[in-house]
Amino acid sequence: MTEHTHEQVEQADQVNQVNQVNQVNHADDKASSRRKRRGTGPIATEEARLLATARPPAKVAPRGREGEVVKSKFGRYERADFERVETMLAAFANRRLGPLVNVVAKGFFGAATPEERENSGIRTAFYSFFLYTYRDPKGIRVVDLFAEAGLPLEGRQRAALDALLQARLVVMSIDDVHPGKQRMRGRDLVRDEQVSALDKNASSLVKPGERLMCWQIPWGTSWQPIGYAVQVEQRKAVALDRAIETLCNNLRVVRRELPEQHAANLWWVVHRVANM
């Protein structure tokens, strides 16, 4: 029997994950093709119906230079404002895009174990991916559709929506932690930029040298983690760097492209290293 090194096995597993998750991008096209072959003609999905009846896409909150927070014209928001708006966003997605949620989830969890599919934290991460990062063939995200729908938002809730429109997946190398100020400073490993993040729970758990992966939104002049965070111990830092490099080679992309174009692949690679 041929013996394989641990690195070869790990690389083969990553290739399998890439193939599974990449099905997300083509799921809608395949479903449409199957319907046409059965002779039923084009059947509009809930997403297509919504897009067809929507006004021109709203302008997404503008981004500044890499890592720069764009201040909302509506001012500051509080945690309660963010939680209320995100709850409305999730309800909007389930109500308007229910079938699409299932299609994207099938791709996201394509290489997951039965236990991982039922894990509440991972399911939270999936919803962050679906709401803020997944794009339809026209490049529109769910949060963009929500902003365009024109649902009534009060006061600071509009500032919270501006923040959600800037949500991004970050893999952060922790350089400095100040629990008293609930602050973490470090570097985004995939965008190669400095990051300052504020979070009470995370700042009390992570240590310098560790890695933290989560979606983040602007908070003042810093960023705030939202949803489910993955913590990678310092002793696994080298393995994580190699795994991300292998993912880039398999996908034939540079690191900077991962969080926007291959966020699901990136998320699972970091999760696997954190739990190996």
The two most distant CA atoms of the chain are separated, in Å, by 67
Whether residue 44 is contained in a domain is answered as no
- Whole-number percent of the chain with pLDDT over 90: 66
Whether residue 50 is contained in a domain is answered as no
Whether residue 249 is contained in a domain is answered as yes
Whether residue 241 is contained in a domain is answered as yes
For the stretch 42-95, pLDDT in tens is 333 444 444 343 334 444 444 455 555 555 555 688 999 999 999 999 999 999
Number of domains in the chain: 1
For the cut 50, the answer to whether the pLDDT of residue 32 exceeds it is no
> Residue 128: which of 274, 266, 6 has the closest Cα?
266
Can you give the chain as a three-state secondary structure string?
CCCCCHHHHHHHHHHHHHHHHHHHHHHHHHHHHHHHHCCCCCCCCHHHHHHHHCCCCCCCCCCCCCCCCCCCCCCCCCHHHHHHHHHHHHHHHHHHCHHHHHHHHHHHCCCCCHHHHHCHHHHHHHHHHHHHCCECCCCCEHHHHHHHHCCCCCCHHHHHHHHHCCCEEEEEEEEEEEHHHCEEEEEECCCCEEEEEECHHHHHHCCCCCEEEEEEEEECCEEEEEEEEEEECHHHHHHHHHHHHHHHHHHCCCHHHHHHHCHHHHHHHHHHHHCC
For the cut 90, the answer to whether the pLDDT of residue 184 exceeds it is yes
> Residue 136: which of 217, 55, 51 has the closest Cα?
51
Whether residue 139 is contained in a domain is answered as yes
Question: What are the phi and psi torsion angles at 77 (to 5°)?
Answer: -130, 160
- Determine the average pLDDT of the residues in 243-248: 97
- Whole-number percent of the chain with pLDDT over 70: 73
Q: 204: domain range?
A: 10-29+73-274
For 38-42, 246-250, 254-258, which range has the lowest pLDDT when averaged over its residues? 38-42
- Determine the average pLDDT of the residues in 123-149: 95
- Determine the average pLDDT of the residues in 138-155: 91
**pLDDT number for residue 221:** 87
**pLDDT number for residue 65:** 53
Q: Can you read off the two tokens belonging to residue 187?
A: 């570097």
For the stretch 122-134, pLDDT in tens is 999 999 999 999 9
**pLDDT number for residue 152:** 85
> Residue 171: which of 157, 186, 154, 149 has the closest Cα?
186
Distance between CA 112 and CA 264 in Å, rounded?
A: 12
**pLDDT number for residue 1:** 43
**pLDDT number for residue 150:** 83
Whether residue 43 is contained in a domain is answered as no
Whether residue 59 is contained in a domain is answered as no
Whether residue 53 is contained in a domain is answered as no
